Structure 1
């Protein structure tokens, strides 16, 4: 059965991979990004299937304007993909307020506003899927990537809550945790303009001026897109899905370490309960 997708950040990377796979499948898609150039080239390959939408998810006004432009299509959206993202590198102390706001506006508030825009229509139809593209960074942050990681962790916790709230209405929420994919993400990173020398040995190693994107990451964005489109058409809805062999390994290690620490300190954890005689 034909699906209608609404995909943000569709001009490159995993978003482009999803859009291309959906259109090749014969689905229809509203493909959104801040610039229409790459989007139009994709839409031209699939006449009648793709609608280009200029959208800056970090801007509430842009979202409101975009929603008004596609108001007549919101009832038809089967799958919302919140893929647009913003990367920022800084030690926590180095973080600049304007950059942190931009990060959260893009990675958290943008997806929240779009979920709130489509959910009334999905509730009315008693069906729909929301795919929120997170990151392995939500499981554990890299040094100097605390703000980015925290934004993805926030998105995941919100996704958990939404899932519990709407599952009985026939709406599915998927959290996708990609590892390293061969995209332009590292080319488009933003970083602190106020570095502190004491962090050179830690967060400083991951500042944008010290990152070279060799485009040799193991993840294939087109394969990721195909995988997600196939899952939707097969009716499979994992709540959390790691993408990439590196993601599998990393997440597994973090879960093992968390379990080991929980077990090691369980005696202390239990000491904070009221004793049975006091209960």
Structure 2
């Protein structure tokens, strides 16, 4: 158990997958958990009845009223939320043209806007206490895009930008924000109960769409990542006095992100002269810190 325990964790999307693994790790560590999911009965089936260290709440993160009520209930029960884990989300893995505006809205309502609503509801209590940890569960797809990721990766790229910016805003209050970038983990993320595909097939994309779905079907339940080990890793990060703003989870994530870094560096070097040529003439050159102060 951490020297700072017992802490109170508020975890969204806790009924299965990474969320459930994190809940179990936290409970095994002796901390308290507010476990939330769309269906409370599934939480009870998974973790048992509420106790002095467990509170299960129904929560659709896309519903602002439910978010406010859940956070209020958690604070009334345990007095504080020390660690927020924004885990609720799903993958819409489809060719962009085969996705609808409704698909886009739904993906962002859960993966981004819901995450932001929960964070907004929790931050005032953390800020008042001048302490807190926030883990925003993104994905390696939040840094590396690819075919069929136009909706999912876009939502996770936005989570990355939100998290990095928020980290700079709230650090002055003793609040640490870490965006977690898992690779492929053995969860039901790619099962029909979770993943969503395009509903409007276009013949020109038939071959690639079929190949991508076959790839994901073959990967499901065969991923390298172990959810229990990720849960343990979050405990380590929660205890660290200076956690990273970004943390990659899994060897595949490390490899893919390193490849992205290498490609970015190569492009920057190859096009540096043209990039620098776009500066205009000015009498005063601002200091680098002034240019990047917003970061």
Secondary structure of the residue aligned to 1:174 is strand
Q: Does 1:134 align with 2:130?
A: no
- Name which of 116, 119, 137 aligns with 1:112: 116
Which stretch shifts more, 112-121 or 230-239? 230-239
Find the counterpart in structure 2 of residue 6 from structure 1.
10
C-alpha distance in 2, partners of 1:185/1:9?
Answer: 12
- Name which of 263, 271, 293 aligns with 1:265: 271
Secondary structure of the residue aligned to 2:235 is helix
Cα displacement string for residues 235-262 of structure 1 (whole angstroms, at most 9, x for unaligned residues): 3411110000111111001110110011
Alpha-carbon offset, residue 141 of structure 1: 1.5
Secondary structure of the residue aligned to 2:15 is coil
Q: Note if contact 1:77-1:128 (Cα within 8 Å) is conserved in structure 2.
A: yes
Give the TM-score taking structure 2 as reference length.
0.88
Which stretch shifts more, 85-94 or 173-182? 85-94
Q: Does 1:147 align with 2:151?
A: yes
* RMSD of Structure 2 on Structure 1 (CA): 2.3
Q: Note if contact 1:3-1:79 (Cα within 8 Å) is conserved in structure 2.
A: yes
Q: Note if contact 1:17-1:221 (Cα within 8 Å) is conserved in structure 2.
A: yes
Alpha-carbon offset, residue 139 of structure 1: 1.0
Which stretch shifts more, 260-269 or 90-99? 90-99
Which stretch shifts more, 205-214 or 44-53? 205-214
Give the TM-score taking structure 1 as reference length.
0.93
Find the counterpart in structure 2 of residue 255 from structure 1.
261
Secondary structure of the residue aligned to 2:151 is helix
Distance 1:113 1:73, change over 3 A: farther
Cα displacement string for residues 202-261 of structure 1 (whole angstroms, at most 9, x for unaligned residues): 344324897345411110001100111122134341111000011111100111011001
